[in-house]
Structure 1
Amino acid sequence: MPRLTKQDIEQRTKQGRSGRPWRRVQAQVFAEESHCWWCGQWVDQSLPGQTHPMGRTVDHVHPLWMGGDPHDRTNCRLAHRRCNTIRNNQLRGAQQRRESLSVDVAAL
């Protein structure tokens, strides 16, 4: 899959988490699932999802910034907000380019 540009990612993220299609998928996930797909623990869906770290949120199995479909139900799973944030940070950290410490053998 080709790498997305920053503009593509921003546009896909905006489209993915607003509007009736997103609310429909989100409601379906909340109704059908009860445990965090990341840690396996029960999610208290009465907690405020926007502010409480153990509140409910919808996590994308294949992240939007990596080309995941925001409205595909098979790509959406229930997660704690904390678990979703930790997972996203780990994925992004693994994707960052690191400076190479190797030396060109021909230069020696």
Structure 2
Amino acid sequence: YTNITVYPSTAFFVYDPRYGEAGSVLKEAFTRYHDLAFPHGTMEDKGASMKYLNIALESFDESHPQLETDESYSLSIDEYGNGLISAQTVYGVMRGLETFSQLVVFDYDTR
């Protein structure tokens, strides 16, 4: 595996608004998972490899999930720090954000 330095900016999770407008469920998820992944807040960028995580979403429908709701996702981060969560639904994106938040570790030595 490779360690990648992450810059926890306030606009870390990025999606393309040409495909739809994020609703309250998705916006609240971005805030919640930013706080979980980066509990030490935003910091000065010291040449971080990863400055954002792109979100590719097929449907911005936020209606209550049903048994048949597709919650699958793909999370990829290459060696250059280019990150992407791809999902069919906002609930898939939320599962991907949860996984991402579990991968981030604060380095107390380098802050």
**Between structures 1 and 2, the one with greater strand share:** 2
TM-score range, shorter chain: 0.3 to 0.5
**Higher Rg of the two aligned structures:** 1
TM-score by length of 1: 0.33
TM-score by length of 2: 0.33
**Between structures 1 and 2, the one with greater helix share:** 1
